[in-house]
Amino acid sequence: EVQLVESGGGLVEPGGSLRLSCAASGFTFDDYAMHWVRQAPGKGLEWVSGVSWNSGSIGYVDSVKGRFTISRDNAKNSLYLEMDSLRVEDTALYYCAKDSRGVISDLENWGQGTLVTVSS
């Protein structure tokens, strides 16, 4: 069974930083692309970033480019999101999701999410 467990969320002041982690199990991690998707309170889903199986292809939504960095450690079956220069509008539940392919194209399985709150 695919399991994705996010951690690292919390309360941070505007301009601060946070690092999210996603521990994956139940599948061959380095066969699949991985993603971060967020959902602001009461709002819809927004794809934040994705990384291909070998980190050869990485993409970001425009609003986080230059501030967020996605990475993965295939030896540790883990996905990360380094978030810098955080803004109030980054407040959201952040989901880790597994692709159905090695390249960025899909969101087959989702975690339960970790909450990030940016506030002074």
Partner 1 sequence: DVVMTQSPLSLPVTLGQPASISCRSSQSLVYSDGNTYLNWFQQRPGQSPRRLIYKVSNRDSGVPDRFSGSGSGTEFTLKISRVEAEDVGVYYCMQGTHWLSFGGGTKVEIK
Please report, as ranges, the residues that interact with partner 1 according to CB under 8 A: 35, 37, 44-47, 50, 59, 62, 95, 100, 104-113
The separation between the first and the last C-alpha atoms of the chain, rounded to the nearest angstrom, is: 40
Q: Minimum distance between the CB of residue 48 and partner 1, rounded to whole angstroms?
A: 9
Range 98-119 burial, b when 16+ CB lie within 10 A, else e: bbeeeebeebebbbebbebbbe
Is the Cβ of residue 16 or residue 71 nearer to partner 1 in the bound state? 71
Is the Cβ of residue 44 or residue 66 nearer to partner 1 in the bound state? 44
Q: Minimum distance between the CB of residue 15 and partner 1, rounded to whole angstroms?
A: 27
Q: Minimum distance between the CB of residue 5 and partner 1, rounded to whole angstroms?
A: 12
Place of tokens 């002074």: 120
Q: What is the CA radius of gyration of the chain?
A: 13
